[in-house]
Amino acid sequence: MDSNPSLDKTNGSDSRCIYFEDIQFFSPNIDMSSWNKNEVNKYFHVLENNPTDCFTVVNLLIPTNREGILCITDSISNEQLICFPLNEIKNLSKGSDTATANYVLLTHGTSSNNEAIDPSSEEPLNMYLTHILRCPTYHGTLRIIDVIRRIITEETGSTATRSGVWEPTSVTLRLHLDIREDDGSSVNFTPVPKEKSELFKMRKSTAKRLFVGVSQLDGRVYLPINGILDVCLGYGRYLSDSELTYLGGEENVTRGEASSNSLNGTSFSTWVTWPSNHNQFSMFDVIGTRDECIFFTVVVRLLIHKLEEPLALRRICRARVYKADEIFWLSLDRKPVIEDYTIKLTESIDENGNLYAGKIQKILNVTAFHPENNQSIVPSVVNQTEDSDNEPLMSGNGIVSREVTDDQLLLEWGHLVTEWHHKVRQSQANGLGVSTNSLRIELLHSGCSGPHISHFGSAFCQRIRRLVSRGIPDALRAEVWQLLSGCPVDESGLMDAYRILITKPCKHDEVIRRDLARTFPAHSFFRDKIGQESLFLVSRAYALYDEEVGYCQGLTFFAAVLLLHMPVEQAFTLLVQVNNNYGVREFFLNDFDGLHMRLYQLDRIIQVKYDYHFEVVNIVKFLCNHKLIRVKQLLKIWKH
């Protein structure tokens, strides 16, 4: 694009401009200079929901000084459509939600020495003119707003803003990696579990797929990814390109919403088949010890619009190999391995010094960094204002960290769980176990950690009690609860029963749905549709399974804690086992006689030290715990 002589003369000594190309432009005959953001956004929605041909594709030229002229020209003919001084802008705003994020509103005044170029008008318009811009990307919208505001607010004669515009800029990309294994159907592939967020737990001799995806986190420039050159994989760390195996990947590319559905949070993704038959990867079929891991390198090479060299993102990963029939519990909120990259780049500048925003000229360097561990749980819905100090917290409040800070504790638990599984298999082979309800209750009253582990010996039971008192790592909680309850690892009967029960009508549906919002209302998972639907399915399945108990309100809290750690089928299975093996179902029988007995016992225990305090402040002991207890404290109670 040639520079405009009229602009050169008007913009003074610094006639350089910032070009934004291929923007859609529309000038409604409405004065929006006094509209607020909500009114502007409503108008954007009208345009978005009622597509018209009123938009023209234009180029936007923003001067680099506040006295300069902003110009809008036709993208094909280069004809000037609108020109006005930058400092006459009165209203500058953008869309405030996802649907309108690419829209920009500009209003400016007209004066005797500044006429809007309008062929149909012979006189200057003595009013505020409104212009709507629709950018190809959200990043372009932010860039236009940022540049105009910075130049308008800069001090006269300042060069700080102008010099910064031409300096190299940077964007941040996030690489998402996931490994998925064949679930036995040769059609569906499920994500493998991880340890400490980075170590993949893989089964030997199992078909796998490597999923990779990219999302742009920030940056003044949108990085246009045209495609993928290939996905490369190598055994080991610090590998050269010649040591990598090229797996392709261009045939499985997805974008936008389809990409996010395939690999959550990505805007561009693909997958490749894991090269199990390749000699270089034979180590992935060798079972290692719990202290051994395998390093492997993944390189994703992306094709960037109008750049000859591909952009390579490299990530070193770890894995541990288990036997082919190993059983893993998968949590509902499992996320892929991620790595962030800061990409420093330059944009195109013509011979007159004009900058073409978003037109990438060269990638200077790529720097990888690991993102900080953000809390995955949404903060409480209770507003933390100055006046809220005395307000009660709703149940389900608080954060449970998944990070294990005591490596020795995790190691001891790992050894114990391995030995525990071995003892369970031996006892099943020998036909040992607890069969009568009276014997279960007797063992529990005697202080046994679980009715199904008494025959493992007192020394082993003491190890369990000692480690439980120190804390169960969140990553192992579902597995340990399963072992404590006596739920078989390969339990399929109850899971099959669950799948049948959820298809049957249930007379308690209306009551269950009414109670969903009362169960841990402060927890983000149960404010979501997925969490409430999971809780509904488990509750109604149990009501159909145990018709004598049916549905009782307290059961939803029990099921909710299980759902925070395991999928719905396993939660139902464990709910049945604990209710039966620990005598919990007796709470809900015979007009709640069992529950009243337990509440009486709780009162007598508290009475020894804290009864006077509760009476003075007029607090009902059980309801206090039920309503206000945080999730972290709740799990501490559960482990005992």
Q: What are phi and psi of 636, to 5 degrees?
A: -65, -40
pLDDT top residue among 424 and 392: 424
- Give a yes or no: residue 396 inside a domain: no
User: Is 214 in the same domain as 345?
Assistant: yes
| Nearest one of 237, 231, 234, 267 to 251, comparing CA atoms | 231
User: Is 162 in the same domain as 98?
Assistant: yes
What CATH number is associated with residue 53?
2.30.29.30
Q: What is the pLDDT of residues 489-518, one digit of tens each?
A: 556 788 888 889 988 899 988 888 888 877
* For residue 196, pLDDT beyond 90: no
User: Is 523 in the same domain as 539?
Assistant: yes
Total of domains in the chain: 5
- Give a yes or no: residue 608 inside a domain: yes
3-state percent breakdown (helix, strand, coil) of the chain, nearest 5: 40, 25, 40
Task: Mean pLDDT check: name the lowest of 157-166, 450-459, 587-596.
Answer: 157-166
Measure the CA–CA gap between 233 and 239, rounded to whole angstroms. Answer: 10
Quickly state the pLDDT bin for 252 (edges 50, 70, 90).
very high
**Domain final residue, candidates 471, 490, 509:** 490
Contacts of 639 (CB under 8 A, 6+ apart): 468, 471, 472
What CATH number is associated with residue 555?
1.10.8.270
User: Is 503 in the same domain as 623?
Assistant: no
Measure the CA–CA gap between 193 and 187, rounded to whole angstroms. Answer: 19
* For residue 41, pLDDT beyond 80: yes
Strand partners, 340: 174, 369
275 burial via Cβ count (<10 Å: 0-12, 13-18, 19+):
middle
User: Is 409 in the same domain as 346?
Assistant: no
Average predicted confidence (pLDDT) for the chain: 79
**Domain final residue, candidates 565, 581, 597:** 581
Q: Does the global pTM surpass 0.85?
A: no
* Contacts of the segment 474-477: beta carbons below 8 A, 24+ positions apart: 474/400, 474/401, 474/402, 474/404, 474/565, 475/195, 475/196, 475/402, 475/404, 476/410, 476/413, 476/414, 476/417, 477/565, 477/635
User: Is 155 in the same domain as 178?
Assistant: no
What CATH number is associated with residue 338?
2.60.40.10
* pLDDT at res. 246: 94
Quickly state the pLDDT bin for 6 (edges 50, 70, 90).
very low
User: Is 110 in the same domain as 202?
Assistant: no
229 to 226, 280, 296, 531: CA distances (angstroms): 10, 22, 20, 39
Q: What is the DSSP letter of 114?
A: B
Q: What is the pLDDT of residues 539-565, one digit of tens each?
A: 999 999 998 888 887 788 888 888 888
Measure the CA–CA gap between 192 and 200, rounded to whole angstroms. Answer: 7
The token duo for 98 is 């996802």
**Domain final residue, candidates 490, 510, 530:** 490
HSE-CB for 181 with a 13 A CA cutoff: 21
User: Is 205 in the same domain as 286?
Assistant: yes
Helices (H), 403-508: 407-430, 437-445, 458-470, 474-485, 493-501
User: Is 224 in the same domain as 350?
Assistant: yes
* For residue 636, pLDDT beyond 50: yes
Q: Are strands 17-26 and 355-369 parallel, antiparallel or unpaired?
A: parallel
User: Is 28 in the same domain as 152?
Assistant: yes
- Give a yes or no: residue 520 inside a domain: yes
The whole-number average pLDDT for the span 395-423 is: 70
* For residue 400, pLDDT beyond 60: no
Quickly state the pLDDT bin for 465 (edges 50, 70, 90).
confident
The whole-number average pLDDT for the span 570-578 is: 89
User: Is 144 in the same domain as 236?
Assistant: no
- Residue 538: domain span: 491-581
* pLDDT at res. 114: 45
The token duo for 478 is 């579902």
- Give a yes or no: residue 141 inside a domain: yes
User: Is 33 in the same domain as 131?
Assistant: yes
